[in-house]
Structure 1
Amino acid sequence: MSIPPSTRPSTRRITAQLSALGVEDGGVLLVHASLRAVGGRALSVLRALRGALGPDGTLVVPAFTPENSDTSPQYRERIRGLDAEARRAVRAVMPPYDPATSAAPSVGRLAETVRLAPGARRSAHPQTSFAALGREAGKVVAHHRPDCHLGEHSPLGYLYDAKARVLLLGTGFDTCSAFHLGEYRVPDPPRRRYRCVVAGDGPRRWWEYEDVALDDSDFAALGADFERAAGGGAVRTGPVGSAYARLFPFTDAVDFATRWLRVHRRMPSGAAGPS
């Protein structure tokens, strides 16, 4: 759902709307955003977010790179209809992950703007990294274990302990990466193999590892139940630019997801996550 655009919103207007929504000075904020829905330029929205968070706040965005994996939905779509030789050619030129230079086109222009901003820090995971700006940025992205996409040993684990908030800015609950931490917290979550290109002693090498089978296919339903259960309390909503925005506590989202997944995922539904 989005609010019809009128004129392009100014940085000042977006900052005021974020503050009215409940974005707090000095807070830690995980953002999933659609700039098309907001109607503003990436740099203006970034300035507004940092303005609402203040000099002691921390902004966090996903900087995922499924493009360097041959076990991701993006790869399967890319090679659809190609013969074996063409598939080998695609794999041969897939670049290794470099936290300093690897683009993250699948997560949107705001995330790319954050990633490229002066002072930004980025976690080391070759498929599901996060970028952060602000006082706690280094702590957020530190210690992202390469065999842990979105669990306790990822920035999501830090965000939970830091009592961060989540802002869905013109996006739905289907984009809410916080719910993935709930997948790790259910008893005996299904696991699968992942493979991607990384930098080795030479220019590149393929690396395979096992992790929880990420599945975001039911996150929209999960989020709808979360919002209903919150009863208008935990989930705050309002306009930001031309977008409909939701703001809620990270811990509430993860705790609800953990309970919900135990009930609604009686059998694995297959990996549909980012990698």
Structure 2
Amino acid sequence: MTTLVGGPGTRRSIAAQLRLLGVRPGSTVLVHAGMRPLGFVCGGPQALVLALRDALGPDGTIVVPTHTPDNSDPAQWRNPPVPVDWWPLIRAEMPGFDPAVTPSRHMGVFAETVRCWPAALRSPHPHVSFAALGPTAEQVVTGHALADMLGEGSPLARLYDLDADVLLLGVDHAVNTSLHLAEYRRPAPARERLGAAVRTADGGREWVWWQDVRIDASDFGALGGDLEATGAVRSGPVGAGTGRLVRQRAAVDFAVQWMARNRTTEDA
């Protein structure tokens, strides 16, 4: 239950807080947001999008993860796993990913609001797509490689090229997707076989398979704590919660070195 303390957050008040936090007008920002920790926001996720656009100005771009983790090979499902005898049926019936209509899963209502916003663009990856709204949206989402899903062929690398920011609203670095880019930049990372259902041009569906880096976010919370200890992360109030802002390049470069020190060769 949301505690009603200190008055509601509004488009105007949150935009002011984002400016104080350091959101740069005209910048590109990858946003991870949990609405509940922000308390009561008058207008909900719509107001938060509008507040961000006010802080960024007309030249700024909002980017969000619109991943579809359930669109994957059921043999790899762990939370929860499904019986082996279900696998053929799931593979036969899973709807094909369609960037225009497939909803994101487990990404939160804010990400879904951006995805559905008029003029938002979405990358075509059937498992880890991103949506973007603003002048650099096409540059961010175009060319998202199937077999380099969070690496150099992904929107994360395009954000790095753009010197983007990462904004965590009501969440911490445990969900900081940009840290996965560092996993791809480690020497000889381990790879695994992945699969997803996709919509075909004729309206049908098919499964696609690829080899990709084995990603692991289990230590991102600890990594993020050490990143914050360097002073690279600005934090401050947003609504009733906490916002964290960091330059993506600083976070990724730190994470590459942190993983080299803290992950074993077997983790790579």
User: Which TM-score bucket, shorter chain as reference?
Assistant: over 0.9
Structure 2 unaligned residues grouped into runs of 5+: none
Per the TM alignment, residue 153 of structure 1 is displaced from its structure 2 partner at its CA by 0.8
Distance 1:158 1:71, change over 3 A: farther
Amino acid at match of 1:257: A
1:63 aligns with 2:61: no
- TM-score, length of structure 2 as denominator length: 0.92
Aligned to 2:259: 261
Q: Is the 8 A contact 2:74 2:90 kept in 1?
A: no
Pick closer, same or farther for the CA change 1:205–1:172 going to 2, 3 Å. same
Deviations 1:142-168 (A, max 9, x none): 111111111111011111111100001
Contiguous gaps of at least 5 residues in structure 1: 271-275
Report the AA paired with residue 227 of structure 2: F
Change in Cα spacing, 1:216 to 1:268, as seen in structure 2 (3 Å) is farther
- 1:62, 1:107 within 8 Å by CA — same for their partners in 2? yes
Q: CA deviation at 1:66?
A: 0.9
Q: CA RMSD in A?
A: 1.8
Aligned residues: 262
Match of 1:248 in 2: 246
Query: Alpha-carbon deviation of 1:72?
Result: 8.0
Deviation, 1:98, is 0.6
Between the aligned partners of 1:212 and 1:106, the Cα distance in structure 2 is 21
Scaled by the length of structure 1, the TM-score of the pair is 0.90
- Asked if the contact 1:71–1:195 (Cα under 8 Å) also holds between the matched residues in 2, the reply is no
Cα deviations by residue, 1:40-75 (Å, 9 ceiling, x for unpaired): 2010111111111000001000010111112586x4
TM-superposed CA distance for 1:268, in Å, is: 3.5
Q: How does 1:1-275 map to 2 (within 5 A)?
A: 5-6=4-5, 7-39=7-39, 40=41, 41-70=44-73, 75-80=77-82, 82=83, 84=85, 86-200=86-200, 203-228=204-229, 230=230, 232=231, 234-269=232-267
Q: 1:258 to 1:137 in 2, by over 3 A?
A: same
CA contact (8 A) 1:71 1:196 kept: no
Q: CA deviation at 1:4?
A: 6.1
Residue identity over aligned pairs, in percent, reads: 45
Check the 8 A contact 1:99/1:122 in 2, yes or no: yes
Is contact 2:193–2:212 with CA below 8 Å preserved after alignment? yes
CA distance in 1, matches of 2:249, 2:266: 24
When residues 72 and 22 of structure 1 are mapped into structure 2, their CA distance, relative to the original with a 3 A threshold, is farther
Residues 5 and 242 of structure 1 are in contact (CA less than 8 Å); yes or no, is this contact kept in structure 2? Answer: no
Aligned equivalents of 1:5 and 1:247: distance in 2? 25
Q: Report the secondary structure of 2:180's partner residue.
A: helix
**Corresponding residue for residue 273 of structure 1:** none
CA contact (8 A) 2:74 2:91 kept: no
